[in-house]
Amino acid sequence: MCRTAEIVCAKWTLLLIRDLAEGRSRFCELERSLEGISPRTLSLRLRALEEEGIVERQTFPEVPPRVEYALTEKGSALLPIIEDMRVYGERWIVQGCEDRVTSAISRPVAVAVA
């Protein structure tokens, strides 16, 4: 459980997974969606999630090169956990949060039903 918390609770990870739950995204799309993240931080977070097997990176042999990121099956398995965290936060924590934090966690995560 401790290892799962380390992965999921790393800065920007929940928001990255939330965005990728909607489907494949390019680096620039993720950067626009995650207001305030630096390109270096985004790159490091994506690389770390890729190493954990949560995100897959697909490179297309085009000019200019195109790279897309998507959740793997392992990454998609985190969606119900993240959705439960969102619901918990709305019910028990949001009262004390700033508007920016509230808007970041209040967007539901698309949870796939098997």
- All structural domains of the chain, each given as residue ranges with its CATH number in brackets, are 2-106 (1.10.10.10)
Q: Are 45 and 16 in contact (CB under 8 A)?
A: yes
* Neighbouring C-beta atoms of residue 5, cutoff 10 Å: 9
Q: What is the pLDDT of residues 31-77, one digit of tens each?
A: 999 999 999 999 999 999 999 999 999 999 999 889 999 999 999 99
* CA–CA distance, 6 with 88 (Å, rounded to integer): 19
Q: Which pLDDT does position 54 carry in this prediction?
A: 96
With a CB cutoff of 8 Å and minimum separation 6, the contacts of 41 are: 11, 12
Which strands sit side by side in the sheet containing 25-26, from one edge to the other? 25-26, 66-71, 55-60
pTM score, whole prediction: 0.76
Split at pLDDT 50, 70, 90, the class of 4 is confident
